[in-house]
């Protein structure tokens, strides 16, 4: 089965993350076995993104969500970093600024969506407004409860404007998260990424899981699907996400646009002149 279907949350399905194996790695035993496949998919990604840029008739929005240390940064660097930066950018969403708080919760999101011909990757996204705000009671229930439908309508509008939307939940276990925190503590190059709040948030693990269950159940639609990516093994996470994006883009059957100039004329006028000079 293609990864595009294997990890997709079908619209209407009830998701229970506790029943999904975060250590799944398909038929690969280790990174070495999957490395060639990952490299091939990275090359395909670069080529397909080039077609999006050249064609200019659509855009792609990739949303990455997951608990701390799930691998959002790693995915951007190892997989999506294969794309040409000229047509691709990353947007990270932290706590809203004063200006952003003065608008509706989707205002800052809409401003960051990709133009035609572009790929944009969200490191966290509009879903924080039905996750963090829910878990920490930052707004009343009746406020965040309305946001599921508002998000679905927002994403539908994007798709109708020729933006393809792919959303990935990076699924790790509680034990794997703790192991990654410990490795960060021991690694001088990555200690800056750890904070006391990372450990404090672990007390809300069950609350976040329930919140994500509802997000994945209510906001995976035909036009903007969610994909649950087993991410305990970083290499498999990279393989799965690269493969899903490649399979989706290949299904668009994008082609390079026809040239806007008379190629025969250019060959005659310039290449013939070059050959004459060589003869001299």
Q: Give φ, ψ of 77 to 5 degrees.
A: -70, -45
CATH class of the domain whose range is 3-279: alpha beta
Residue given tokens 């070495």 in the structure block: 32
Instruction: Name the residue among 3, 168, 170, 196 with its Cα closest to residue 71.
Output: 170
User: For position 277, what pLDDT does the model report?
Assistant: 55
Tens of pLDDT along the chain (280 residues) come to 699 999 999 999 999 999 999 999 999 889 999 999 999 999 999 999 999 999 999 999 999 999 999 999 999 998 888 999 999 999 999 889 999 999 999 999 999 999 999 999 999 999 999 999 999 999 999 999 999 999 999 999 999 999 999 999 999 999 999 999 999 999 998 888 888 999 999 999 999 999 999 999 999 999 999 999 999 999 999 999 999 999 999 999 998 887 777 778 778 777 765 555 555 5
What is the rounded distance in angstroms from the CA atom of residue 178 to the CA atom of residue 198? 10
Contact 156, 215 (CB under 8 A): no
User: What pTM was computed for the model?
Assistant: 0.93
User: For position 275, what pLDDT does the model report?
Assistant: 53
Contact 41, 242 (CB under 8 A): yes
CA 166 to the chain's CA centroid: 6
Residue given tokens 């450990």 in the structure block: 199
Instruction: Name the residue among 193, 216, 69, 197 with its Cα closest to residue 131.
Output: 216
Which helix (H) or strand (E) element contains residue 202? none
Q: Give the contacts of 16 (CB within 8 A, at least 6 positions apart).
A: 213
**Structural domain boundaries in the chain:** 3-279
Which helix (H) or strand (E) element contains residue 208? helix 205-218
């Amino acid at each position: 089965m293609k990864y595009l279907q294997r990890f997709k949350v079908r619209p209407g399905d009830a998701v229970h993350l506790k029943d999904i194996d975060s250590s799944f790695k398909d038929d690969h035993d280790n990174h070495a076995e999957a490395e060639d496949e990952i490299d091939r998919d990275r090359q395909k990604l670069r080529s397909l993104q080039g077609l999006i840029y050249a064609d200019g008739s659509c855009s792609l929005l990739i949303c990455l969500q997951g608990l701390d240390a799930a691998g959002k940064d790693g995915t951007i660097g190892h997989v999506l970093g294969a794309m040409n930066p000229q047509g691709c950018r990353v947007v990270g969403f932290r706590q809203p600024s004063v200006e952003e708080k003065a608008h509706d919760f989707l205002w800052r999101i809409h401003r960051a969506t990709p133009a035609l011909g572009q790929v944009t990757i969200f490191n966290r996204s509009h879903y924080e407004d039905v996750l963090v705000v829910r878990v920490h009671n930052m707004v009343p229930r009746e406020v965040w409860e309305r946001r599921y439908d508002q998000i679905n309508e927002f994403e539908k509008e994007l798709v109708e404007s020729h933006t393809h939307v792919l959303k990935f939940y990076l699924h790790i276990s509680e034990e794997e998260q703790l192991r990654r925190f410990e490795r960060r503590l021991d690694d001088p190059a990555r200690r800056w990424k750890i904070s006391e709040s990372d450990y404090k948030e672990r007390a809300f693990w069950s609350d976040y899981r329930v919140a994500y269950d509802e997000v994945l159940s209510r906001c995976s639609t035909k036009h903007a699907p969610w994909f649950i990516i087993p991410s305990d093994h970083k290499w498999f996470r990279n393989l799965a996400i690269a493969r899903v994006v490649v399979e989706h883009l290949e299904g668009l059957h994008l082609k390079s646009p026809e040239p806007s100039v008379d190629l025969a004329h250019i060959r005659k006028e310039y290449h013939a002149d070059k050959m004459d000079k060589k003869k001299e």
